[in-house]
Structure 1
Amino acid sequence: MHSTKDTTVKRGVDLDLSLYLVTGRDLLPQGKSYLTYLEDALKGEVSIVQIREKNLGTAEFLEIANDTMSLCIKYNIPVIINDRIDIALACGAAGVHLGQSDMPLSTARWLLPSHAIIGVSCTTPEQARKAVEGGADYVGLGAVYATSTKDVSAPGSVCGIAGVRAMLSVLEGTGVKAVAIGGINSTNLLRTLHSCASPTGHTLHGVAVVSDIVASPDPCAAAWRLGDTFRAWAAAVSPGPIGFQVTTKEKGQYTRDGIVAAAAALVDTVRHLRPLVHQITNNVVKTQSANVTLALGGSPIMAEAEAEQADLARMPGGLLINFGTLDALDGMLAAGRHANQNGKPVVFDPVGVGATAFRRATATELLDAWQPTVIKGNAAEIGALADSNEVKAQGVDSLGGFKNAPEVVRSLARTHRCIVLLSGPTDYLSDGSTVIRLSNGHELLGQITGAGCVLGTAIATFCGAASIAAIGSHEGSLVNGDMLLATVAGTLALTIAAQHAAAREEVRGPGTFLPALIDELAMLTPEIVLRTAKIEVEME
Structure 2
Amino acid sequence: MAAKADYSIYLVTDSTPAILGDRDLVQVVEEALKGGVTFVQYREKTSDTGALISTGKALHQVCQKYSVPLVINDRVDVALAVGCEGVHLGQDDMRVDKARELLGSSAIIGATVSSMEEARIAVDLGADYLGIGTVYATNTKKNTKDIIGVNGVRRINHFLERQEDEAAKNIKTVCIGGINLQNIALVKSKLASWEFSASNHVHWEKTIDGVAIVSAIAAQEDPKAAAAALKKAWTDHSPFLPESHPSEPDVSSLGRYVKDVHQRVPLSHNMTNLVVQNFAASVALAIGSSPIMSNNGQEAGDLGALQGGLVINMGTSTPDNLNNQRQAIQAYNARGRPVVLDPVGAGATDVRRKALQFLMDSGHFSVIKGNEREILAVSVASGYLPRESVQQRGVDSGDSLLSLEEKAYYISRLASREQCIVVMTGAVDVLSDGHTTWTVENGHPYLGSVTGSGCTLGTMISAYLACDPRHRLAAVLAAMLHFEIAAEDAAVRSDVHGPGTFVPAFVDELYKKRMDVVEGSAAWLDRRKIRHIENISDLGLLKEY
When normalised by structure 2's length, the TM-score is 0.88
- Do the aligned residues in 2 keep the contact of 1:292 with 1:454 (CA within 8 Å)? yes
Q: Which residue of structure 1 lines up, in the alignment, with residue 199 of structure 2?
A: none
- Do the aligned residues in 1 keep the contact of 2:173 with 2:210 (CA within 8 Å)? yes
- Do the aligned residues in 2 keep the contact of 1:260 with 1:529 (CA within 8 Å)? no
The amino acid that maps onto 2:7 is: L
Q: Which residue of structure 1 lines up, in the alignment, with residue 400 of structure 2?
A: 400
Q: Which residue of structure 2 lines up, in the alignment, with residue 421 of structure 1?
A: 423
Match of 1:19 among 9, 13, 19: 9
How far apart are 1:135 and its partner, in Å?
2.7
Q: 1:419, 1:465 → 2: CA distance?
A: 16
Gaps of 5+ in 1: 1-8, 237-243, 468-480
How far apart are 1:119 and its partner, in Å?
1.4
Q: Which residue of structure 2 lines up, in the alignment, with residue 130 of structure 1?
A: 121
How far apart are 1:166 and its partner, in Å?
1.3
What do residues 130-160 of structure 1 show as CA deviations (whole Å, max 9, x unaligned)?
3233332221121111100121333xx2111
Q: 2:336, 2:253 → 1: CA distance?
A: 22
Q: Which residue of structure 2 lines up, in the alignment, with residue 163 of structure 1?
A: 152
Q: Which residue of structure 1 lines up, in the alignment, with residue 443 of structure 2?
A: 441
Q: Which residue of structure 2 lines up, in the alignment, with residue 206 of structure 1?
A: 210
After superposing the two structures, state which structure 1 stretch, 211-220 or 457-466, moved more. 457-466
The answer to whether 1:145 aligns with 2:136 is yes
Match of 1:259 among 246, 250, 253: 250
Q: 1:492, 1:61 → 2: CA distance?
A: 66
The amino acid that maps onto 1:400 is: S
Write out aligned runs for 1:85-96 (5 A): 85-96=76-87
What do residues 86-133 of structure 1 show as CA deviations (whole Å, max 9, x unaligned)?
122222222211111111222222222112112111222332233233
- Do the aligned residues in 2 keep the contact of 1:349 with 1:453 (CA within 8 Å)? yes
Q: 2:131, 2:21 → 1: CA distance?
A: 29
* RMSD, aligned CA: 1.9
Q: Report the count of equivalent residues.
A: 502
Secondary structure of the corresponding residue to residue 515 of structure 1 = helix
Q: Which residue of structure 2 lines up, in the alignment, with residue 335 of structure 1?
A: 328
Q: Percent identity?
A: 41
When normalised by structure 1's length, the TM-score is 0.89
- Do the aligned residues in 2 keep the contact of 1:45 with 1:223 (CA within 8 Å)? yes
How far apart are 1:529 and its partner, in Å?
5.3
Match of 2:351 among 349, 353, 358: 358
Q: 2:531, 2:81 → 1: CA distance?
A: 66
- Do the aligned residues in 2 keep the contact of 1:433 with 1:539 (CA within 8 Å)? no
The answer to whether 1:381 aligns with 2:383 is no
After superposing the two structures, state which structure 1 stretch, 216-225 or 107-116, moved more. 107-116
Q: 1:170, 1:197 → 2: CA distance?
A: 15
Aligned CA distance change for structure 1 residues 64 and 249 (closer, same or farther; 3 Å) = closer
The answer to whether 1:348 aligns with 2:341 is yes
After superposing the two structures, state which structure 1 stretch, 510-519 or 87-96, moved more. 87-96
- Do the aligned residues in 2 keep the contact of 1:391 with 1:400 (CA within 8 Å)? no
- Do the aligned residues in 2 keep the contact of 1:383 with 1:390 (CA within 8 Å)? no
Aligned CA distance change for structure 1 residues 206 and 128 (closer, same or farther; 3 Å) = same
- Do the aligned residues in 2 keep the contact of 1:48 with 1:78 (CA within 8 Å)? yes
Match of 1:496 among 485, 491, 494: 485
- Do the aligned residues in 2 keep the contact of 1:132 with 1:171 (CA within 8 Å)? no
The amino acid that maps onto 1:82 is: N
The answer to whether 1:121 aligns with 2:112 is yes
Q: Which residue of structure 1 lines up, in the alignment, with residue 361 of structure 2?
A: 368
Write out aligned runs for 1:416-495 (5 A): 416-467=418-469, 481-495=470-484
Q: Which residue of structure 2 lines up, in the alignment, with residue 293 of structure 1?
A: 284
What do residues 467-502 of structure 1 show as CA deviations (whole Å, max 9, x unaligned)?
3xxxxxxxxxxxxx1222222222222111111212
Q: 1:53, 1:529 → 2: CA distance?
A: 68
After superposing the two structures, state which structure 1 stretch, 431-440 or 224-233, moved more. 431-440
Write out aligned runs for 1:136-285 (5 A): 136-154=127-145, 157-172=146-161, 174-200=169-195, 201-202=204-205, 203-233=207-237, 245=240, 247=242, 250=245, 253-254=247-248, 258-285=249-276
How far apart are 1:284 and its partner, in Å?
1.0
Q: 1:414, 1:112 → 2: CA distance?
A: 43
Secondary structure of the corresponding residue to residue 250 of structure 2 = helix
Secondary structure of the corresponding residue to residue 72 of structure 2 = strand
Gaps of 5+ in 2: 163-168, 196-203, 380-385, 536-545
